[in-house]
Each structure stands twice: as C-alpha cells, then as structure tokens.
Amino acid sequence: MSRFIDEEGQLVNQELDQRTVGIELADLKKKEYSILVAGGAKKAAAVQAVLKAGYANQGIFDVVLAQHLMHYG
C-alpha cells in the first residue's frame, strides 16, 4: 500500500502521503479486487487497520497471522 495509516485506517501524515507514489486510498477502496498479502504476528495491527478501513477485500495470510486476527480486539 505504501501508505502510513493509524489503527482506524486514517492517514497519519498528509505531507508524507503527498510524496508517496502509489494508488490513493480512496481509489483502492473502489477496486473490484484489492488483495492484501501478509504474514507474521507483528503484522496483525496493520492488517486489522487495513481491513477495518476497507482498503482490501481479499486476503492471503499465513496461519500465525490468521490466528492473531481471529483474536484481535
């Protein structure tokens, strides 16, 4: 995604975001397929934020991350 977001999926730094090369988050939400690929327990908070904000509608996760996401609160 190449964007820095908080736990609610909101951009944390507008200035940095303006210099970021990549799809805009609003445009990403509109895509028919937006696939998130991640692994490892350390990614749970970031993945949860992406899913909560609706930036991805498909996911590929390893079992460790999937287990953490099932219990993420």
**Domain residues of the chain, as ranges?**
14-70
Instruction: Give burial (CB, 10 Å; 0-12/13-18/19+) of 58.
Output: exposed
Q: Once rounded to an integer, what is the mean pLDDT over residues 16-35?
A: 92
Q: What's the pLDDT score for residue 65? A: 97
Q: Give the integer Cα–Cα distance in Å for 23 and 29.
A: 10
Q: Once rounded to an integer, what is the mean pLDDT over residues 35-55?
A: 95
pLDDT tier, 72 (very low <50, low <70, confident <90, very high otherwise): confident
The mean predicted confidence, pLDDT, of the chain is 93
**Which structure tokens are listed for 73?**
């609160």
| β-pair type (35-38, 58-61) | parallel
What do you get for the CA distance between the two ends of the chain, in Å? 23
Note whether 46 and 38 are within 8 A (CB).
yes
Q: What's the pLDDT score for residue 1? A: 65
